[in-house]
Structure 1
Amino acid sequence: MKITTNNRIILASESPRRKELFGRLGIPFEIQASGVSEDVEQELSPEEFTLAIATKKSDEVVQGNEDAIVIAADTTVYLGEKLLTKPVDSNQAKEFLQALSGQEHRVITGVSIQGAGISIGFTETTAVQFYELTEEQIDAYVASGDSLDKAGAYGIQTMGGMFVEKINGDYNNVVGLPLGRLFQTLLTLKVIQLEKEISE
């Protein structure tokens, strides 16, 4: 399946995981990360908060790039109503993983698409159930350093995936980008098109 676009596409993220996922579409795109803080003043629901951060990112990058389509995303992890951010240190990473042990949590990604007359956003939620974790497992994983740059202190696409008993929803959403939903949205907006490949 070949996908084409007539637009300049900017992915407003430095995340190697989002870059890899978006690259699966096979269309040219640029990386231009935003420098906005991931803080929002007002009280918002988890979904509203996550989308607000993504929108802040796209708002900044679209300035001066109004002719391009800017795609920004933010992924959050919620245990109940508690936000689990990227841990500040190993101790906090251990606290997060201890809290997640044996529990179901939500991974929410907000996606904002702006530019060329388009301004739209959506959120995707995946429920993730963890196995009961031992202190030995938590200590070994945290010692690897993998948990420190990831919301909720784990990466499902790395060894952190060994802690996951089951998920309900989009796996790619947990990695950092709900690629299927984004693909369908970009098709609907006519940002991308499917090109029929003629076999000889």
Structure 2
Amino acid sequence: MARIILASSSPRRKELLQQLGLDFEIYSPDIDETVLLGETVVQYVERLATAKAQVVLNLFPKATVIAADTSLSFAGKIIGKPESKQHAFEIWTQLSGQWHDVYSGICVASSVQCLSKVVRTQVELQQLSHTEMEKYWATGEPVGKAGAYAIQGIAAQYIPQIRGSYSNVVGLPLYETALLLESVKI
């Protein structure tokens, strides 16, 4: 297989991709992640994953590029990373005791073909008390995480169940990524 580049600086995506036994390099592109007017979460994550892949492919045209973007959706709204402690508490208050959706857009691109897919997983977050929110924020884990939590970390104790791909919630749905890698023409 051609040279593989993961278009992400996320340590979680790196760890997940290593589970596929691939030899790959990392290059993190800088793209504008502003949500476009009227854009759904599905359109948003697919657009960002494709944009990341294209930026890296333009720099390394002989490579096969894997890119992803993950966001949450609740009540029709895209929920990104917390901008502050107050914002994290607002996110948790919305999600607390509710189911929400986690979407990842994945793109695998070569000079010949660009394939993308969006994967959805439903996640239940228990009813969180203010004390639990304070305690979790103090760990530092919510910073930089979509939805202000990391299912693979301390937050696992607050998630009674999920429906769908666990690796999707972490940030890279492995089953679908492997299928796209097998299908892309190089």
Give the structure-2-normalised TM-score.
Answer: 0.96
Q: 1:124 aligns with which of 113, 119, 125?
A: 119
Q: 2:79 aligns with which of 78, 84, 91?
A: 84
Q: Is the Cα contact below 8 Å between 1:98 and 1:138 reproduced in 2? A: no
Whole-angstrom distance in 2 between the partners of 1:26 and 1:33: 20
Q: What are the ranges of 5 or more consecutive residues in structure 2 without an aligned counterpart?
A: none
Partner of 2:8: 13
Partner of 1:144: 139
TM superposition shift of 1:45: 1.9
Q: Is the Cα contact below 8 Å between 1:93 and 1:153 reproduced in 2? A: yes
TM superposition shift of 1:189: 3.2
Which amino acid in structure 1 is aligned with residue 158 of structure 2?
F
Identity of aligned residues (%): 37
Q: What are the ranges of 5 or more consecutive residues in structure 1 without an aligned counterpart?
A: 1-5, 192-200
Structure having the larger proportion of residues in strand = 1
| 3-state DSSP of counterpart to 2:45 | helix
Q: Is the Cα contact below 8 Å between 2:31 and 2:51 reproduced in 1? A: yes
Q: What per-residue deviation string (whole Å, max 9, x for no partner) do you get for residues 128-186 of structure 1?
A: 01111111111100111110110000000001111111100000000000001111222
Partner of 1:61: 56
Q: 2:90 aligns with which of 86, 95, 110?
A: 95
Whole-angstrom distance in 2 between the partners of 1:160 and 1:121: 29
Give the structure-1-normalised TM-score.
Answer: 0.89
Whole-angstrom distance in 1 between the partners of 2:130 and 2:185: 50
TM superposition shift of 1:47: 0.5
Comparing 111-120 with 166-175, greater Cα deviation is found at: 111-120
Q: Is the Cα contact below 8 Å between 1:40 and 1:52 reproduced in 2? A: no
Q: Is the Cα contact below 8 Å between 1:8 and 1:29 reproduced in 2? A: yes
Q: What per-residue deviation string (whole Å, max 9, x for no partner) do you get for residues 10-49 of structure 1?
A: 0000000000000111121000000112124342221111
What is the Cα-based RMSD across aligned positions, in Å? 1.3
Partner of 2:34: 39
Matched, 1:49 2:44: yes
Partner of 2:129: 134
TM superposition shift of 1:190: 6.4
Deviation above 6 Å: which 4+ runs of structure 1? none
TM superposition shift of 1:98: 1.3
Q: Is the Cα contact below 8 Å between 2:29 and 2:55 reproduced in 1? A: yes
Whole-angstrom distance in 1 between the partners of 2:75 and 2:172: 22
TM superposition shift of 1:111: 0.6
Whole-angstrom distance in 1 between the partners of 2:81 and 2:35: 16
Higher-Rg member (1/2): 1
Q: Is the Cα contact below 8 Å between 2:108 and 2:184 reproduced in 1? A: no
Whole-angstrom distance in 2 between the partners of 1:137 and 1:169: 26
Comparing 17-26 with 110-119, greater Cα deviation is found at: 110-119
